[in-house]
Amino acid sequence: MIVHLPLIVFLLVNVVSTDAALFSRGSDSIFGVARHARRHISKRSTGLWDDMRLAYTGMFQQKPQILQSKPYCTHSSDTGLSSTGTGTGTGDVDGTSSSMNATSATSAAAHGSSSRTTSGSSSSATNAAPTVSSSASASVAGTGTASSSASTSISSQPSSPWKVAQAYQGSSFFDGWVFTNEADIWTSGIAQYVDQATAQSAGLIEINSAGNAVMRVETTPTVSGNRKSIRITSQFTYTGGLIILDAVHMPTGCGTWPAFWSDGPNWPAGGEIDIVEGLNDYTNNQVTVHTNPGCTIASSDPNVLGMTGSFVTSTDCGVTATSNTGCGIRASQTNSYGAAFNSVGGGVYAALWDESGWKVWFFARSSIPSDITNGVPLPSGWGTPMANFVSTSCNAFQFFYQHSAVFDTTLCGQWGDGVWASDNSPGQAQTCAQRTGVASCEDFVRGNGAAFSEAYWEVKSVKIYQSS
């Protein structure tokens, strides 16, 4: 065995003060001493072992240094400056969920302080993060030098200025909504809205096996008063934005009056737009606006307005001059509402609220634009809207502000009663009086619970976007 004298001297200098006793152990080999000394020395100085390695290259094996390539992905949430709310919103893009916290506020519509009005006539994300892939390789030469190479590819996605500010979907869909717990005093309907606990115990709400939110009307065979139903109002509020509803099924049948709408405080001061609304057996949706006096639409010509729908009421949207009916536009699509909507698997409604006014689009399930599906909505590519309430004579931020989203299904009411026996709207081949053989809407609703088996909402998601 060859012993390197310089190394022994080096070790003694560094360990004699505290570890000299090591050499008194006859059974310890000099290499054991060296190993112990190595541990001791490394505690004293992070650079000492490197000094020893460089000085005594032949005694110790050199560790290869491997350079690693590590991909980093950052995500930032961009919520609109004019939105408030409670709870957590989640946005799904191709099955990947991202969440963001909304700021806290109390909605003025906690118990439906805003009004639902008679709207008809007798004739309703989140940016997808780029996918990053990285591959790295390293080779080590005998001298310890290393080389590395990495490649990164980013999948291209269309960019959108619209970012998810609040989303309702999946098992947490009902988080962040206020359940109205009183009778329908707004439309004189015979719906009894119930709180969340009552709704759950009565089987009126659920998240089904598909992960969709379901809101039903009570189907008890007969009731003496009002029939139980659901009305919910988002705690999240917004001024301007893009509201996208993805629904599989909506309530339909004689006696039903469902709606999905956007509503401001102090009705009608904050304005209201009914994005989805209709009655009975209708097949064509009606989009209606209700405002303070002074909001009018400059033309009733669809070609001038750039829309596919047509006015069925006045172009004056003020509730005073129109006895609360506002200005309504009926869709041309015959599968945009009711049983026809349900038969095609539903679809998407998108309402854009910006300086130009309000625009509403409908896309049946098979024709939903990929940018909506991917969570990067680009309204400029959606073609002609169903409804277009231009702001030229109705300022979109004077007559509308601080909105909440609302779902409800009322029964009968002013509109439903008014057309029960005289209605020729699309889809209504017979009046409900003729089809049911019952003279009044209220009598039919109270005495025919089984007729409301199709009176339910099934909703995949509601997403409210704000521009960045």
Which alpha helices (H) appear in 365-451, and where do they start and end? 370-373, 413-419, 432-436, 441-447
272 given a catalytic annotation: yes
- Residue 239, φ and ψ in degrees, nearest 5: -125, 110
Phi (first) and psi of residue 222, to 5 degrees: -135, 145
DSSP H/E element including 14: helix 5-19
The question of whether 182 is a catalytic residue gets the answer no
Kindly report the CA angle at 385 between 382 and 389, in degrees rounded to 5? 135
d(CA 215, CA 213): 7
Residue written as tokens 């118990």?
A: 111
User: Catalytic: which of 218, 272, 442, 458?
Assistant: 272
Query: What is the CA angle 407-264-307, rounded to 5?
Result: 75
Question: What is the 3-state composition of the chain as percent helix, strand, coil, each rounded to the nearest 5?
Answer: 20, 30, 50
Q: Determine the Cα angle at 120 with ends 114 and 124, to 5°.
A: 75
Biggest CA-to-CA distance, the chain: 115
Residues 182, 218, 277, 458: which is the catalytic one?
A: 277
Do 377 and 158 meet the contact criterion of CB atoms below 8 Å apart? no
Identity of residue 136: A
332: closest CA among 378, 283, 388? 283
Contacts of 309 (CB under 8 A, 6+ apart): 287, 302, 329, 330, 331, 332, 386, 387
Pairing of strands 191-193, 227-229: parallel
Q: Which residues contact 115 (CB under 8 A, 6 or more apart)?
A: 186, 267, 268, 272, 290
**Which residues participate in catalysis according to the annotation?**
272, 277
